[in-house]
Amino acid sequence: MKENNVIHLRGMEFYGYHGVMPEEKITGQRFIVDMDIYPDVPLISGSDNIEFTVDYAEVYGVIKRCVEEEKYNLLETLAEQIVKEVMKRFSCTKIRVEVHKPNAPIPGMIRDISVELKRERKQ
């Protein structure tokens, strides 16, 4: 039976320039990212070696670059780019990412807008 180990990265905050409205690309805003990574490496009981897991500091850096160095109209596109980059660089079987846009320009009171994507590596 294959183990289902998960690494959770929660509440990563970045400042980016994503959105459809022109002012969103000029002034930018805060984005919050949550991610679950299912490593495709055998976690060896009792091991304390980084090579037996996914380096989440490096994952954080990949997500940071996606959010802060690119500009997308849609949250869906940003979330998809994050998933592609993480899956390309790290050994994992599955990823769940949720990108929050707490200050989305919506005419009304709303606490949060988010997009969630789940992707599995094809076997």
Q: Which of 25, 84, 101, 118 is catalytic?
A: 101
Q: What angle do CA 39, 93, 121 make, to 5 degrees?
A: 155
Is 101 designated active site? yes
Sheet architecture: strand order including 29-39:
7-16, 29-39, 92-100, 114-120
Tell me the three state secondary structure of residue 75: helix
Between β-strands 92-100 and 29-39, what pairing exists: parallel, antiparallel or unpaired? antiparallel
Q: How many CB atoms lie within 10 A of CB 75?
A: 21
> What is the rounded distance in angstroms from the CA atom of residue 49 to the CA atom of residue 43?
10
Cite the active site residues: 101
